[in-house]
Amino acid sequence: MKALLIASAVSLSLAAAATPALAIGCFSGAAAGAVAGHMAHHGVLGAIGGCIAGHEWHKHQMRQADLQNRQSYIQERQKQDPNYKDPWSE
């Protein structure tokens, strides 16, 4: 029984290590949500909600950074070529 438990733990850890980490922002959000949920005696629900909120907040920040980079690129390009038109606008 002990060997089966160790073998399953090792195989699960190897499978988790092989998958890409797409949950950026989840760990910090889950930690904050777990602390807040612990105060209301719902630590697991708080961690789940915090993970979701942290991931969404990270995506929001990345979109804002992409927009800022795109706008600075357009401005630099228009300085070099006044006839340049933004391909992302209509």
Residue 55 belongs to a domain = yes
Residue 35 belongs to a domain = yes
Residue 52 belongs to a domain = yes
Residue 70 belongs to a domain = yes
How many helices and strands, by DSSP H and E, does the chain display?
3, 0
Query: In the chain, which stretches have pLDDT less than 50?
Result: 18-19
Which pLDDT score, from 0 to 100, does residue 15 have? 54
Q: Which domain holds residue 69?
A: 24-80
| 35 touches 46 (CB < 8 A) | yes
Which pLDDT score, from 0 to 100, does residue 67 have? 85
Residue 36 belongs to a domain = yes
Which pLDDT score, from 0 to 100, does residue 13 have? 60
pTM of the model: 0.56
Which pLDDT score, from 0 to 100, does residue 7 have? 65
Residue 4 belongs to a domain = no
Domain total of the chain: 1
Residue 32 belongs to a domain = yes
